[in-house]
Amino acid sequence: EVNENTLFLVESSKNKPVSQFSKRMFFVKPVIIDEKGVEHWEIASHEKDELIRFIEKVEPLCDVFKLLSIKSTKLKDVYFPKVLPKLTDLQKKALELAVKNGYYKVPKETNLRDLAKLMKISLATYQKHLQVAESKIMPDILSYIK
């Protein structure tokens, strides 16, 4: 295909750092591989012990392992490497509009009726698209914070 090239790779190894990753950990940024082939990871966990266990298991697996820092910070962004559930174009648009227009902010900066008008669909239809999108995404998000 010209527009969408996809590579599916399934790899299984007990000797790779990623094999030690736990559900209590998550990526803050995507893994970056520099021009020398070195992987740069920025990961986090709500539990410092989880990170320490990960380091202890991973360090022996690596030819070169350099820990730059462990610090306690407030996270602003979290990267989800897992492919999220497939949303229809309308579900994705409903969700994007809600985020872009401040529907999830406290206090809300918009309401469902206004978002439905922006999409030029009925309130009930907009609510359904948003509800289905949320129901597909939330289980994956919750799995990262358990």
Which burial class, exposed, middle or buried, applies to 137 when counting CB atoms under 10 A from its CB (0-12, 13-18, 19+)?
middle
| pLDDT at residue 87 tops 80 | yes
Measured CA distances, 145 to 78, 139, 141 (Å): 11, 10, 7
Average pLDDT score over residue span 17-24: 74
Reported as a pLDDT band with limits 50, 70 and 90, residue 77 is low
Say if CB 48 and CB 56 are below 8 A apart: no
**Predicted structure pTM score:** 0.50
| Cβ neighbours for 130, distance < 8 A, ≥ 6 positions apart | 91, 94, 95, 98, 112, 115
Please state, for a pLDDT cut of 70, what percent of the chain lies above it. Answer: 78
pLDDT digits (tens, 9 = 90+) for 98-141: 999 999 999 999 999 999 999 999 999 999 999 999 998 888 77
State how far the alpha carbon of 122 is from the alpha carbons of 95, 101, 118, 127, 136, in Å. 15, 18, 10, 9, 22
The pLDDT of residue 2 is 45
| End-to-end C-alpha distance for the chain, whole angstroms | 38
Q: Which band of pLDDT confidence, cut at 50, 70 and 90, is reported for residue 1?
A: very low
* pLDDT for residue 9: 55
